[in-house]
Amino acid sequence: MKSKDEIRKYIWNLLEEKGVALFPKPIVGRIPNFVGANVAAEKLNEMSIWRKARLVKSNPDSPQKWVRENALKHGKTVFMAVPRLRELKCFIKIEPKSIINIKEAATIKGAFKYGKPVYPEEIDHIDVVVAGCVAVNYKGAKLGKGGGFSDLEYSIGRKFGFVSDETPILTTVHPLQIIQEDIPMLEHDVPLDYFITRNGVQAIDKYFAKPDKIHWNILGEKLKEIPILQKMQRK
């Protein structure tokens, strides 16, 4: 089995070689933006869970800008994590009714302009979680860019109760990001329930369990860098 880093490097190189990687560049070290990300985001409207969703938690990365825009356009409230969870109010609440420019609000800069910083305990139960991925497979395994923040956000959500085991986890990817081989999954890694490409929606049979707690023993320096973890640990 290839290591996580080996798979990431393979995908980043492949997307560049095939000419489907978009700004921001270089894509190495990022959730890669890709040709067709806007089309994949529109495919979400074919999913009943998406159409019914009122509260969506989304990653802040570029390819899912279209997902955030889709959500806001259809009247959904979006919660986006503050990059690297660097603030005690570590999520941004973006409500469509308060937005003048939805396209701008769907960007990271726009989210801070139009959104409101909130504590995790202020978030009601999320209907759908959108993750950013470098690679995915048909077992629901996924790889992010290596920081571990997406998985940590989910575990914080389990602790505060705004996500549960039943909360659907999905992502949008380019078809080249789907691999047939296994992706290493550890106990803190959050698996997918769906991935969506420009070609349509792929539902995934449950193969991996979702983490139900924060694994404090693996956090290392994050404990010193993330205020909400320090607050939780004191309690």
pTM: 0.96
Question: Residue 24 has what pLDDT?
Answer: 96
Q: Residue-wise over 148-165: b if at least 16 C-beta within 10 A, else e?
A: bbbbbbbbbbbbeebbee
Question: Residue 34 has what pLDDT?
Answer: 98
Question: Residue 62 has what pLDDT?
Answer: 96
Structural domain range at position 161: 4-234
Residue 216 belongs to domain with CATH number: 3.40.50.10420
DSSP 8-state class, residue 83: G
Question: Residue 85 has what pLDDT?
Answer: 95
The SS3 assignment for 36 reads: coil
Which tokens sit at 180? 């047939």
Would you write out the chain's pLDDT as a tens digit for each of its 235 residues? 899 999 999 999 999 999 999 999 999 999 999 999 999 999 999 999 999 999 999 999 999 999 999 999 999 999 999 989 999 999 999 999 989 999 999 999 999 999 999 999 999 999 999 999 999 999 999 999 999 999 999 999 999 999 999 999 999 999 999 999 999 999 999 999 999 999 999 999 999 999 999 999 999 889 889 999 999 988 7
What is d(CA 208, CA 186) in angstroms, rounded to the nearest whole number?
A: 10
Question: Number of folded domains in the chain?
Answer: 1
Question: Residue 1 has what pLDDT?
Answer: 83
What is d(CA 81, CA 97) in angstroms, rounded to the nearest whole number?
A: 20
Question: Residue 98 has what pLDDT?
Answer: 81
